[in-house]
Structure 1
Amino acid sequence: MRSNSFHMPYTISAELKKEPALQFKKSPQKRQFFLYTILTFGILFRLFHFVHNRSLWLDEIYLSLSLISADFQQLTAPLLEYQQKAPIGFLWMVKCSVLIFGDGEKALRLIPLLCGIAALICLIPIARYWLKPAGQLAAISMMAFAPPLIYHSVEVKQYSMELLVTVLCLWLYIRFYKDRKLKSRLLWGAAGALILWFSYSSVFILTGIGMAVCLSLIMKNDWKSFLQLCVPFSMWFTSFAIHYILITSNQVDQQWLLYWFRHYQSFMPLPLWSPDTITWLIRHLYTMLDYPLGLLWNFNTADSAPLRVIMKMSILPIALSLIGIYAFFKTDKRALALLTLPLILTLAASALERYPFFERLLVFLAPLIILLIAKGCDQTIKALPALRRRQLIIPALLMTGGFAASAAQVISPDTFGRYKKSYKKEALLHIDKNYQEGDLVYVYWNMNYGYRYYKRAYNIQYNAIEGSDKKFASVSPSDYIKQLRPELHQLEGKKRVWVVYNRKIWNDIGEIENRPDWYNKSHPGEFLYRELSHRAHEIESLKLDEVNVHLFDFSSAP
């Protein structure tokens, strides 16, 4: 059922009133209670991790170093320091937050947090427009509890803004599509034109919307409306062209990054009809249920792979998405095209190696798939009378995996972010807390960036020796240590020397993955630790998953 009203309570149509009495449908207060409870938990989960203030992980640090040191003009460069790039609108907004609130993680994460919360709230009118009450609850709960979407709401990267932009594009469509006034056309055009400067992925969303609308009008021979809509669409195209000429065209292809995404099979293979492509599509579309949608029940330990797939409850969202596609096809083909064309365009860009089909880069597609699944929820309830009095069953099943995982990450924040969980801050501040006058601190090369950020953000008292990356100048472990000896010579004779290194970062930014081969056969820092253990007495150590901190005495033999 479609409604142009975005305000509560939800209006029940005459058709629905003819159906058997449904307690859930007849109680707007109950619907509001469930919806706002879900919304509140979703916001609280995001606020908890914002306040918890975990350490920045490597990619966040790379971008943060530019955000705290560069000015607004420098942030317009095609590539920032450490080969980073992000939409100008996002960079400028975060820079404003840094100027107001300082260099700390919370200032850097404030804009992503606000975007994550705004995306959740703005999804409500969109859900009301296309979905019935049960589908609305399903959509909001999927968005509210997906662990990846919560994570990106407190990450110093642009993906939370990409998510918000998708939701805003959908909202602008339902707000302005039927409004024939020139003022409304201009407002729609201006909003879309501005959005392109805040989100790289918005080109897929806006192009999908434009294609869906134009195809619909052409099929109806409604050329008058077609010509009217050329106003906003031409404004979008002009903005994109300007952005491309000024920025995108100046961004050189980074060969190491292409190699990285090829290594992780993030580009759809060609030709489309090959078995490899079909297998790739099935695997990657299935993976989206986990990242970014967070729908899989990942708390089972079955030994059998097929049984694990079943126990992850993947069949339910897959079936509902297919049912949702069918339901939109029967009732609103334009909406179906609008929700599916951005995914098709993203896959096409992936096949051309212009946009990787890879976890965090797909966050912007989450609202589209959520709406398809939620539509399938509505259609299933409509088709099965037994579910009409138990409409919360399907939304409850859809939210269980995400809610359980997100609640567990609140109870145990160390699990938040999976492989992105970092302890750089804890390690560096541990040294700062226990630092004594006369101590030396040696920071291994793969902790240099973390040290540079936290030195400035937390006013760390010590000035560390920043280690050099000698792996490409060496041919073996012994040669590697030989290359490091000029640096290590500074440590000799010192009574207290702190050494900190990361055990999980093998390659620096811009380097080809897993090279050189001899270096990647062991944990980073292992050669260094072995050498120092032979030359000095170890006083104490602190091991924090990925980061090791050791205090050595070089004044006496071990």
Structure 2
Amino acid sequence: MGVRGWVYVALVPLVAGAAARIWHWAHDRPLWLDEQMIAINVRDGGGFRGLAGPLLHHQSAPLGWLWVERAFLLAFGSGERVLRLQPLLFSLATLVLVWLVVRTWFGPLGALTAALLFGLSPALIRYAAELKQYSADAFCALALLALAAWAAARPRWTHAWWVAAAVASWLSMDAILVTPGLAAVLVGAAWRRGGWRAALRAASLAPVWLAAAGVHYLVALRYTTGEPHLRPWWQQRGGFPDGSLWSWLAHRPAGLAADPLRLPEGPVTVGFWLLVAAGLTVLLARRTPLGLLLAAPLATGVALGAAHAVPLASRLAIWLLPSLYLAAAAGVEAIAALTPRARIPAAAGLTVVAVGAGFVLVPQIEYALAPPRLVDGVDDRAAMAWLAAEHRPGDLVLVSVSSIPAVRWYSSMGTLRPGRFVRPVPPGPDCSPQALPAALAGQRRVLAYSGIRTDPATPAVMEARLAEQGRIVQRRDFRAGVGWLVDLHPPAPPAPVLPGLKTSCLQLSAFGRR
């Protein structure tokens, strides 16, 4: 089989990756907390115009992406599969684009490596079946990178690249981040090729992109960027430097390997980063424009993370995966080129790479084949169905604060009134032992639910305080969530006090309008 024939072997992991994505999407998992908050905005956020303003629950998503979600909801309904259809389509389009790219950029070994990495990436599989914009981020980053490489070799396509960047800026906030670095490489290549006049021609449509990104910011993004309460959250998770900048930089490879790359610790992680470094080095030396294009997003990500502007960690770094995966594929090609062809035929080389990559990607393969799991371990959909089935007129409904989006999405606050949102509070001025008895005065039954455990003590505190006020006649587990049905008449005998919960109180707030 010739070299071009072996390149087609790369279709196998790409097709397998597409099947894994469709399998996870078709499983129809209930929405988890972050998805619920996005879904509430799409359904109840005031239509297309309302999505352009501040989003409920401090959410942030590209306006164009939200509009597509709204259009799908209006056309096909609000089921989980419908809401996750756009992420699936973006992820499948990414695999098609990978196939087009690796056929022209790499030989058989590099093509197979890139296909394995993209096709079986746990992050890309997960976000193909999740109501978040991250699959669009990965697609737009790869598309702009591929189009930039095409434009670098064919300058007449530079204008088309600017138009694509303008469109992408409304579908992906990360597309806005990746564009300046790629543009600098394109303009620099034009300047080197034809002087300042060529550079000006290459940058002539930059105002189109600036206008598109600027309008997007003024219309929507300015309401959702720079959330102050998220900065310390991401800093604790390594997204921003917490102390020494150099120490943070030294720990970034391991942090990114854990998430979003999801590589095993130890030699596998070290080997991956060595492949990335080797690939970038060889490309910068032999195919300089392509090497610079792959390096530009990585440099941008490091700079933005060091400046505390964009976290360089977890799902918010998913836009770096295309550059990393393609650089690693180039590294495999470079290493393979060091081996004389006469000693290791192409078939044997492909077999070695496939087996080695299989061992490297065991966690990814297991993730792709495993039944889709609940992200936060809570089945809010079943819990809300239970609440609706058990609810009687006059029942008081108590729901943990973290379950507010679940109630808004899967149930109706109107039918669940009277209701209160509760959170545990430690001893202090906010701790009022009489708040719960006062709320229960005159009630005969209480329905309570604690979903995602943003505070691990919430279920235990709720159960202990409810047991003091009445008799728990039903306790239901919804994976990690817990529901209780409490009969307040006759009053329950004194309940045993759990260690550490004796002085904890429940703070109550009435249901809002929605």
> TM-score range with shorter-chain normalisation?
0.7 to 0.9
Pair 1:423 & 2:376 matched: no
Indicate how the Cα distance of structure 1 residues 224 and 132 shifts in structure 2: closer, same or farther if over 3 A, else same.
farther
Contact 2:63 2:216 in 1 (8 A): no
**Counterpart in 2 of 1:73?**
49
**Counterpart in 1 of 2:228?**
255
- One-letter code aligned to 2:254: Y
Match of 2:204 among 215, 227, 231: 231
Pair 1:467 & 2:424 matched: no
Shift, 1:83, TM fit: 1.4
Shift, 1:333, TM fit: 1.5
Contact 2:245 2:306 in 1 (8 A): no
Match of 1:550 among 484, 490, 509: 484
Counterpart CA distance in 2 for 1:269 and 1:334 is 34
Pair 1:293 & 2:261 matched: yes
Indicate how the Cα distance of structure 1 residues 27 and 217 shifts in structure 2: closer, same or farther if over 3 A, else same.
closer
Gaps (5+ residues) in structure 2? 493-514
- One-letter code aligned to 2:166: A
- Tell me, what secondary structure is at the counterpart of 1:413? coil
- One-letter code aligned to 2:216: H
Contact 1:440 1:498 in 2 (8 A): yes
Shift, 1:489, TM fit: 2.9
Cα deviation, 1:90-134, whole Å, max 9, x if unaligned, reads: 110111111111122222111111111111111111222221111
Pair 1:334 & 2:282 matched: no
**Counterpart in 2 of 1:485?**
437
- Tell me, what secondary structure is at the counterpart of 2:350? coil
Counterpart CA distance in 2 for 1:399 and 1:66 is 41
Counterpart CA distance in 1 for 2:430 and 2:158 is 69
Contact 2:295 2:323 in 1 (8 A): yes
Indicate how the Cα distance of structure 1 residues 309 and 530 shifts in structure 2: closer, same or farther if over 3 A, else same.
same
Contact 2:30 2:380 in 1 (8 A): yes
Pair 1:411 & 2:370 matched: yes
Pair 1:159 & 2:134 matched: yes
Indicate how the Cα distance of structure 1 residues 214 and 544 shifts in structure 2: closer, same or farther if over 3 A, else same.
same
Counterpart CA distance in 1 for 2:222 and 2:367 is 44
Indicate how the Cα distance of structure 1 residues 277 and 199 shifts in structure 2: closer, same or farther if over 3 A, else same.
same
Superposition map of 1:211-222 within 5 A: 211-220=184-193, 222=195
Indicate how the Cα distance of structure 1 residues 461 and 81 shifts in structure 2: closer, same or farther if over 3 A, else same.
closer
Superposition map of 1:112-131 within 5 A: 112-131=87-106
Indicate how the Cα distance of structure 1 residues 485 and 124 shifts in structure 2: closer, same or farther if over 3 A, else same.
same
Indicate how the Cα distance of structure 1 residues 148 and 531 shifts in structure 2: closer, same or farther if over 3 A, else same.
same
Counterpart CA distance in 2 for 1:395 and 1:205 is 31
Counterpart CA distance in 2 for 1:540 and 1:406 is 41
Counterpart CA distance in 1 for 2:361 and 2:385 is 33
Indicate how the Cα distance of structure 1 residues 129 and 31 shifts in structure 2: closer, same or farther if over 3 A, else same.
closer
Contact 1:109 1:154 in 2 (8 A): yes
Contact 1:321 1:372 in 2 (8 A): yes
**Counterpart in 2 of 1:283?**
251
**Counterpart in 2 of 1:524?**
458
Shift, 1:88, TM fit: 0.8
Indicate how the Cα distance of structure 1 residues 438 and 95 shifts in structure 2: closer, same or farther if over 3 A, else same.
same
- Tell me, what secondary structure is at the counterpart of 2:173? coil
Pair 1:504 & 2:453 matched: yes
Shift, 1:190, TM fit: 1.9
Identical residues among aligned pairs (%): 21
Counterpart CA distance in 1 for 2:281 and 2:178 is 21
- One-letter code aligned to 1:40: V
Counterpart CA distance in 2 for 1:244 and 1:408 is 36
Contact 1:145 1:399 in 2 (8 A): no
Q: What is the count of residue pairs matched by the alignment? A: 487
Contact 1:98 1:107 in 2 (8 A): yes
Counterpart CA distance in 2 for 1:309 and 1:345 is 27
Shift, 1:267, TM fit: 1.4
**Counterpart in 2 of 1:515?**
none
Counterpart CA distance in 2 for 1:402 and 1:462 is 49
Shift, 1:391, TM fit: 2.2
Indicate how the Cα distance of structure 1 residues 428 and 265 shifts in structure 2: closer, same or farther if over 3 A, else same.
same
Counterpart CA distance in 1 for 2:394 and 2:132 is 38
Counterpart CA distance in 2 for 1:89 and 1:493 is 49
**Counterpart in 2 of 1:300?**
none
Cα deviation, 1:24-49, whole Å, max 9, x if unaligned, reads: x4571x542x3232122111111111
Shift, 1:387, TM fit: 5.2
Counterpart CA distance in 1 for 2:44 and 2:276 is 45
Cα deviation, 1:428-454, whole Å, max 9, x if unaligned, reads: 224445667886643233212201101
Counterpart CA distance in 2 for 1:483 and 1:470 is 12
Superposition map of 1:25-36 within 5 A: 25-26=2-3, 28=5, 31-32=7-8, 34-36=9-11
- Tell me, what secondary structure is at the counterpart of 1:529? helix
Gaps (5+ residues) in structure 1? 1-22, 271-275, 298-307, 507-521
